[in-house]
Amino acid sequence: MLKHGIAALAALLLVGCNSGESEGGIDEMRLINAGDDSANWITHGRTYSEQRYSPLDAVNRETVANLGLAWYADMDTARGQEATPLVMDGKLYVTTAWSKVFAFDAATGEPLWSYDPQVPGETGVKVCCDVVNRGLAAWGDKLFLGTLDGRLVALDRETGKVLWEKVTVDQSKAYSITGAPRVIDGKVLIGNGGAEFGVRGYIAAYDADDGSELWRFYTVPGGEGEDQPEYLQKAAETWTQGTGEIGGGGTVWDSMAYDPELDLLYFGVGNGSPWNRAYRSPGADGKGEGDNLYLSSIVAIRPDTGEYVWHYQTTPGETWDYTATQHIILADMNIGGKDRKVLMQAPKNGFFYVLDRETGEFISGKPYIPLNWATGIDENGRPIENPETRIDRTGKPALVMPGPLGGHNWHPMAYHPGENLVYIPAFEAAMLYAPEANWKPDMKRGFNVGFDIGAGDLPPDLGFRREVGSTIKGKLVAWDPVKQEPRWTVEHPGAWNGGLLATGGGLVFQGTQESTFNAYDAASGDKLWSFDAQTGVVAPPMTYMVGGEQYVAVLAGWGGALAITADGGIIAKDKPVRNVSRLLVFKLGGSAQLPAASEFAATPLDPPPSKASAAVIEEGRKSYARYCAVCHAPGAVGSTVLPDLRRSGALENPAVWLQIVHDGALKDNGMVSFKDSLTKEQMEAIRQYVIKRANEDKAMEAQVAKGRVARR
Write out pLDDT tens, residues 71-89.
Answer: 999 999 999 999 999 999 9
The pLDDT of residue 4: 54
Residue 655, amino acid? A
Catalytic residues: 321
37-47: per-residue pLDDT in tens? 999 999 999 99
Maximal CA-CA distance, the chain:
76
For the chain, percent of residues with pLDDT exceeding 90: 78
Please compute the mean of the pLDDT values over residues 421-446 and round it to a whole number.
Answer: 91
Question: What's the confidence (pLDDT) of residue 22?
Answer: 42
The amino acid that residue 419 corresponds to is E
Looking at residues 437-441, what average pLDDT do you find?
87
Q: Which residues contact 379 (CB under 8 A, 6 or more apart)?
A: none
Closest to 174 measured CA to CA, from 215, 124, 99 = 124
Q: What torsion do the CA atoms of 631, 637, 643, 649 make, to the nearest 10 degrees?
A: 130
Instruction: Collapse the DSSP code of 226 into the 3-class scheme (helix H, G, I; strand E, B; otherwise coil) and give the result.
Output: coil
In single-letter form, the type of residue at position 172 comes to S
10: pLDDT strictly greater than 70: no
For residues 8 and 229, the model is more confident at: 229
* CB neighbour list of residue 564: distance below 8 Å, 6 or more residues apart: 80, 129, 130, 630, 631, 632, 633, 639, 641, 642
pLDDT in tens, 231-282: 999 999 999 876 767 789 999 999 999 999 999 999 999 999 999 999 988 8
Distance separating alpha carbons of residues 95 and 76, to the nearest angstrom: 12
Alpha carbon distance 679, 659 (integer Å): 13
Instruction: Go through 684-703 and write b for each residue having 16 or more CB atoms within 10 A of its CB, e for each that does not.
Output: bbbbbbbbbbbbbbeebeee
583 vs 459, which has greater pLDDT?
Answer: 583
Please give the share of the chain, as a percent, with pLDDT higher than 70. 95
DSSP letter string, 15-82: HTT--S-----B-HHHHHTGGG--S-B-STTSSTT---EE---SS-TTTGGGEEEEEEEE-S--S---
Per the CB < 8 A criterion, the answer to whether 78 and 581 are in contact is yes
Q: How far apart are CA 560 and CA 683, in angstroms?
A: 26
Segments in 573-635 forming alpha helices (H)? 614-627, 629-632
Section 631-655 average pLDDT: 90
Cβ neighbours, 10 Å, residue 227? 7
Please return the burial class of 710, using the count of CB atoms within 10 Å of its CB with bins 0-12, 13-18 and 19+. Answer: exposed
Q: What is the reported pLDDT for 21? A: 40
Query: What are φ and ψ of residue 616, in 5° steps?
Result: -65, -45
| pLDDT grade for 574, boundaries at 50, 70 and 90 | low
Residue (of 202, 275, 189) closest to 235 by Cα position: 202
Average pLDDT score over residue span 499-506: 98
Q: Are 108 and 58 in contact (CB under 8 A)?
A: no
Closest CA to 41 of 84, 82, 87: 87
Residue 499: closest CA among 533, 471, 537, 453: 537
Each residue of 520-549: b (16+ CB within 10 Å) or e?
bbbbebeebbebebbbbbbbbbbbbbbeeb
Cα radius of gyration rounded to whole Å, the chain: 24
CA distance 561 to 349: 17
